Structure 1
Amino acid sequence: MTNTSSDAVSYFTAQLEFRTDVADVHTALESGAPGFTLLDSRGDAAWAQGRIPGALHLPTAEIARRGAALLDPAPPVVTYCWGPGCDGATRAALAVAKLGYRVKEMIGGIEYWIREGFGVETDDGVARRPADPLTSPVAGITCDC
């Protein structure tokens, strides 16, 4: 092993500067003043299937063309896509950063949002599934980390 504790501090500080998780995003949204714009970077069919309440829909392929007209330059942007098996949120965050915005990626995507038991909005309203015990404690929606 060649890294030092200083290397680790730098690496993990950068991780926290550029990434957030679904629990922190949920807590911020529930506060009523999240301090960021939540951007769903998935396509139209995925958006119609379900999205995080309050998210802005802007597919990754449209960010360069439409982002400046849709995004407020003041708050940072938090991007999400499907989940850990998808790099769509990373590509969206890169496209947003190229426009000059502060940006973070929400790790876990909508998959972990749903698996942690948070509500998903459709045209029919907001639905919630029970938390998956493999990703979240069943006694309450918090990991206590």
Structure 2
Amino acid sequence: MTDLGARLAHVDARLAYEIDVIAAREAVEAGEAVLVDTRRLESWRHGHIAGALHLPKTEIASGIDSLPRDRTIVVYGWGPGCNGGTSTARVLLAAGLDVRELLGGYEYWVRNGFDTESGGVVSHQSPDPLVTAES
């Protein structure tokens, strides 16, 4: 069995690195963070978090200098089964940026009923009661 100290260190590291959609939205609204969509262009066009920047993982080298250095970068991919945000985060962290990864990605942002954008139109759907604290 793994020792308790190692497990606690792992959990502490996750809490320091990952951010849920509610905390991410609050950080963006407070001007402390910016959201970065790491998905390919077709996915971005299908819909993305309103106000997010687009930096697909295939364009990191050419786009890294356009990211703000004065705020936390919150990267996201499609959802829990997508690690595009994780691989992008690794590159951005290695370049010295303050980076967090959005738990649940775009999927959980949408499921919480937060604003999304597609074709220049901002909209949102009703929150999924299974993932929101609202009643």
TM-score, scaled to structure 2: 0.90
Contact 2:24 2:33 in 1 (8 A): no
Gaps of 5+ in 1: 140-145
The one of 114, 119, 125 aligned to 1:123: 119
SS in 2 for 1:86: coil
The one of 27, 51, 60 aligned to 1:54: 51
Residue 85 of structure 1 and its aligned partner are, at CA, apart by 0.9
> What is the RMSD of the two structures over their aligned residues, measured on CA atoms?
1.6
Aligned to 2:86: 90
- Distance between the aligned counterparts of 2:54 and 2:88, measured in 1? 12
Contact 1:90 1:105 in 2 (8 A): yes
Aligned to 1:11: 10
Alignment of 1:20-59 (within 5 A): 20-31=19-30, 33=31, 35-59=32-56
Contact 1:42 1:60 in 2 (8 A): yes
Residue 138 of structure 1 and its aligned partner are, at CA, apart by 5.1
TM-score, scaled to structure 1: 0.84
Gaps of 5+ in 2: none
How many residue pairs are counted as aligned between the two chains?
A: 135
Residue 76 of structure 1 and its aligned partner are, at CA, apart by 2.4
Aligned to 1:142: none
